[in-house]
Amino acid sequence: MLRIPVHRRRIAVATPELCFLAFNLLYASFKYVEKFSMLVLEVPRMDEEDKLHYFMEGLQIWAQNEIQRQGFHDI
């Protein structure tokens, strides 16, 4: 088992299953970004706001919330 520091004095233990799920989540996100980028290149004139809107539409809720929290307004 891997030990991942979470807070100053606490240590969370990540099981191999949790690491596998996290890896799959990151890989799926990467593939989505890659596919979206290729599709956007095929559209001749699309506003940055539209790109962000369509990109966000395909994300899971937690990822949408993170992007909004960080204040992104364009891609």
* 45-75 confidence digits (pLDDT tens): 888 888 888 888 888 888 888 888 888 777 6
Q: Look at residue 10 and tell me if it is in a domain.
A: yes
Q: Which domain holds residue 61?
A: 2-70
Q: What is the pLDDT of residue 72?
A: 77
- What integer is the mean pLDDT of 2-14? 57
Q: Is the pLDDT of residue 10 over 70?
A: no
pLDDT tens-digit profile of 16-29?
A: 777 777 787 888 88
Q: Look at residue 33 and tell me if it is in a domain.
A: yes
Please provide the DSSP assignment of the chain as one string.
-EEEE-SSS-EEEE-HHHHHHHHHHHHHHHHHHHHHHHHHHHSSS--HHHHHHHHHHTS-HHHHHHHHHHT----
Q: Look at residue 16 and tell me if it is in a domain.
A: yes
Q: Look at residue 21 and tell me if it is in a domain.
A: yes
Q: How many domains does the chain have?
A: 1
